[in-house]
């Protein structure tokens, strides 16, 4: 397991997700043959629940932010290129196992075109 580059920050990632990363890494290796690559933590610009109205400038960090859980250290994005290339059946199995690892309603998982977004809903609506 690794981050995409040194700009990806997950040092303060919530324990609910951080504790499951080794298991997610094993799932990724089982289904794609590659290690887990985290492409985003609380870095970058992330859409929030009311995109684009939720965007604001954070003077403390001098960055644009939104109400995304990424900025509360409660969400990550992971590369899934290897899963996408394996076909629909592998994608379905990976998604099913991911939902077992990160069950609703405590977590939300969104599989996008090239990334897996995982967030811990416990932090939804809480102040930073």
Q: Higher model confidence: residue 114 or residue 76?
A: 76
The predicted-structure confidence for 5-23, as pLDDT tens digits, reads as follows 998 989 999 999 999 999 9
In a domain, 25, yes or no: yes
Contact (Cβ atoms closer than 8 angstroms) between residue 63 and residue 32:
no
In a domain, 46, yes or no: yes
pLDDT value at residue 101? 97
The predicted-structure confidence for 49-107, as pLDDT tens digits, reads as follows 444 455 545 566 655 555 678 888 999 999 998 888 888 899 999 999 999 999 999 99
Boundaries of domain holding 46:
2-123
The predicted-structure confidence for 15-50, as pLDDT tens digits, reads as follows 999 999 999 999 999 999 999 999 998 776 555 544
Say if residue 4 is exposed, middle or buried (CB neighbours under 10 Å; 0-12, 13-18, 19+): middle
In a domain, 128, yes or no: no
In a domain, 13, yes or no: yes
Tally of structural domains, the chain: 1
What are the residues whose beta carbons fall under 8 Å from the beta carbon of 98, sequence distance 6 or more? 24, 27, 109, 116, 118
Over residues 99-121, mean pLDDT: 91
In a domain, 113, yes or no: yes
Over residues 115-126, mean pLDDT: 86
């Amino acid at each position: 397991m690794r981050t995409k580059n040194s700009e990806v920050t997950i040092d303060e990632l919530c324990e609910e997700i951080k504790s499951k990363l080794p298991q997610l890494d094993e799932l990724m290796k089982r289904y794609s043959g590659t290690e887990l690559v985290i492409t985003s933590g609380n870095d970058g610009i992330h859409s929030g629940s009311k995109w684009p109205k939720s965007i604001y400038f954070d003077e403390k960090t001098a960055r644009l932010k939104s109400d995304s859980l990424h900025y509360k250290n409660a969400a990550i994005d992971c590369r899934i290129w290897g899963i996408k290339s394996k076909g629909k059946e592998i994608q379905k199995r990976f998604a099913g196992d991911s939902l077992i690892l990160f069950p609703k309603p405590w977590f939300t998982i969104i599989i996008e075109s090239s990334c897996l977004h995982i967030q811990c809903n416990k932090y939804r609506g809480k102040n930073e």
